[in-house]
């Protein structure tokens, strides 16, 4: 049963939503269950500079998620989009309007979390890749989604997917932390500028979620810290008051809430979803 009836008939675009077990898939399925038509975007094949194949949502994976949503009675479409390309991002926003008649929700979810190195070991090219995808991509999504929303005149919701790294610094994650701190600034400025058009702009800041990316991070940081996997995960659980890492569904629930009219008076927020771990 839908929890937010006002979402029925709305149209949502989610970037970086083509990978199985990712936050994007969970948010797409939750919004579809609430009655939204969902446009799933991702890179498709062969465009991920500095990224392993497992970080790229393939065309087949995108279509598989669309199929899952349709089998559950929802409505969805896939659209290949590189968030670094202004023309492709603008085209994704137009695709939603041209195909489904409206654009109500845009979720800037695409991001790079694999390039985790000390500053002294990170190349300029790797730094630029993280900052460009995580921050430039969110800027372009905000810009072109808002352009369509303002033109349509119905307001809208823009959701940026940040991180605990939006609030706190993490060694060996300089580019990632910088990009997510920057996203918080973008969220706040966009909320001020777009509020008069009836557009709410908010950011969700999860702590660790064991997606495909999260599993890589677990293995990477357990090695970097020298703790070993079991000790690293035990330490993680111990510092979270609710005693567990986040789940994809935890983020999807908050996304649906922020997209609903229950959150009509919330804008410019960077909301922690961290089991009590993050207080900033």
Active site residues: 176, 180
Distance CA 245, CA 42 (A): 26
Residues 229-266 as b/e (b if ≥16 CB within 10 A, e otherwise) read: eeebbeebeeebeeeebbbbebbbbbbbbbbbeebeee
CB neighbour list of residue 27: distance below 8 Å, 6 or more residues apart: 14, 17, 107, 109, 251, 252, 255, 256
The label of the residue with tokens 């996304």 reads 255
Dmax (CA) of the chain: 54
Q: What is the spatial distance between Cα 87 and Cα 96, in angstroms, rounded to a whole number?
A: 14
């Amino acid at each position: 049963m839908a929890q937010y009836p006002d979402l029925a008939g709305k149209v949502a675009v989610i970037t970086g939503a083509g990978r199985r077990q990712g936050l994007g898939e969970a948010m797409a399925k939750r919004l579809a269950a609430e009655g939204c038509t969902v446009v799933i975007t991702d890179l498709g094949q062969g465009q991920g500079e500095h990224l392993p194949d497992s970080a790229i949502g393939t065309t087949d994976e995108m279509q598989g998620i669309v199929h899952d949503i349709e089998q559950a009675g929802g409505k969805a479409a896939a659209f290949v989009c590189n968030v670094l390309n202004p023309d492709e991002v603008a085209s994704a926003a137009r695709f939603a309007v041209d195909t489904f008649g409206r654009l109500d929700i845009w979720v800037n979810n695409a991001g790079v979390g694999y390039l985790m190195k000390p500053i002294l070991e990170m190349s300029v090219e790797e730094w630029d890749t993280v900052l460009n995808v995580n921050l430039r991509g969110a800027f372009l999504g905000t810009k072109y989604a808002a352009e369509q929303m303002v033109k349509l005149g119905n307001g809208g919701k823009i959701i940026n997917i940040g991180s605990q790294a939006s609030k706190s610094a993490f060694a060996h994650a300089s580019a990632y932390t910088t990009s997510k701190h920057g996203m918080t600034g973008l969220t706040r400025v966009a909320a001020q500028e777009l509020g008069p058009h009836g557009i709410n702009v908010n950011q969700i800041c999860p702590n660790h979620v064991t997606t495909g990316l999260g599993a890589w991070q677990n293995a990477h940081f357990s090695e970097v810290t020298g703790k070993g996997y079991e000790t690293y995960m035990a330490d993680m659980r111990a510092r979270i008051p609710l005693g567990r890492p986040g789940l994809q569904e935890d983020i999807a629930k908050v996304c649906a809430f922020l997209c609903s009219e229950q959150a009509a008076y919330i804008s410019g927020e960077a909301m922690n979803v961290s089991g009590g771990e993050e207080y900033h």
